[in-house]
Structure 1
Amino acid sequence: MNRPLRALLIAAVLASPALGATDVSMAGGDIRFPVPDGWVPIMQSEGEKETQVFQVPGSSAADATLARVSIAVQKVPNLNGFQQFSGNLRSHATALPEYAPGKANSPTENVYTAKEGAVKLDYFERYFYSKGYAIQLRCIRPAGDAKFSAAFDKGCADVAARMPS
């Protein structure tokens, strides 16, 4: 293979937004982002508020059952609508059993723990406003397995970094 063609192919691969990822399209194609290939789609809803949920296989049966990521998208008229969307979801979170706030790194994040059944879960939510849509990325995982938690958190951070804004 000649050198310029090889350089072009390498540049194309490096410019790809997500190698080993599955592209997700929501809101009639207005919102697009990649998720890791290993994430299994388990639910999708359409309507005024569109949601996609992915199960994230883990290192144990408990992780595989409980670890999941959801993306909710809703058309809003303006930034006030976005603030109402995120405020309503944050309010809902505080009503979860044994809710305990964590330390968020930005105003668009919500970090907390809560119980689901008998299991304590870590929640990481991130809010985005793009093309007239309010978007919530919600990552939920059980604590305890450091290796799984690190991989899960990296996947969530990668999706957050690729959300349209």
Structure 2
Amino acid sequence: MKRLLPFFALALAGTSAIAGDVSMAGGDVRFHVPDAWVSIMQSDGDTESQVFQVPGSSAADATLARVSITLQKAPSLLVFQQFDKDYRDRASHLTEYKPGKAKMPTEHVYSAKEGTVRLEYYERYFYANGYAIQLRCIRPSGDAKFSATFDKGCADVAASMPS
């Protein structure tokens, strides 16, 4: 049993790696996330996802603030449009969903409640290298300094997405 403890510690340490340059879909999709973001989940398969926790200004922000990148193989623009529609429809069914104002057609801005906390959502959709990609940024509102840093990080990730 003592021999397994270092193995488990090493395995757990690997699940919360510091972010930076990220590669998904076997290297077909690459982007950059701020170094302070922590990778907390990754899934593979037909739909692939990676989730990052974004350290915040308070314990609540650090727990709730997160960014996910989800992608799915999309051999045509029609498949991409269905991907976009499906994820936007899911969002509209969240508790106390309230649409916001998007700046471009590839954005979806809204707020909703998670438990007792109102969260701000920013989604951006990309079609690149044969993949439909969703960038989803989720943060609590109320801390202007944290919100500005978080939003800049999301904008930087969006700018580094393949097009």
Q: TM-score, normalised by structure 1?
A: 0.87
Aligned mate of 2:114, from 113, 116, 137: 116
Runs of 5+ in structure 2 lacking a partner? 1-18
Report how many aligned residue pairs link the two structures.
Answer: 145
Q: By how many angstroms is 1:77 displaced?
A: 1.7
Q: Which runs of 5+ in 1 are unaligned?
A: 1-20
Partner-residue secondary structure (3-state), 1:36: coil
2:38 to 37, 40, 45: 40
Q: Distance in 2 between matches of 1:148 and 1:31?
A: 28
2:127 aligned partner, one-letter code:
Y
Q: Give the alignment partner of residue 102 of structure 1, picking from 100, 106, 111.
A: 100
Q: What code does the residue aligned with 1:81 have?
A: V
Q: Cα RMSD over matched residues?
A: 0.7
Instruction: Write the letter of the residue equivalent to 2:35.
Output: D
Q: 2:71 corresponds to which letter in structure 1?
A: V
Identical pairs, percent: 74
Aligned position for 1:30: 28
Q: CA offsets, 1:58-90, max 9 Å, x none?
A: 000000000000000100120000000010000
TM-score of the two chains, using structure 2 as the length reference: 0.88
User: Structure 1: which 4+ aligned runs deviate by more than 6 Å?
Assistant: none
Kindly report which structure 2 residues correspond to 1:1-150, keeping only aligned pairs within 5 A, or say none: 22-150=20-148
Question: Which structure is larger by alpha-carbon Rg, 1 or 2?
Answer: 1
Partner of 1:160: 158
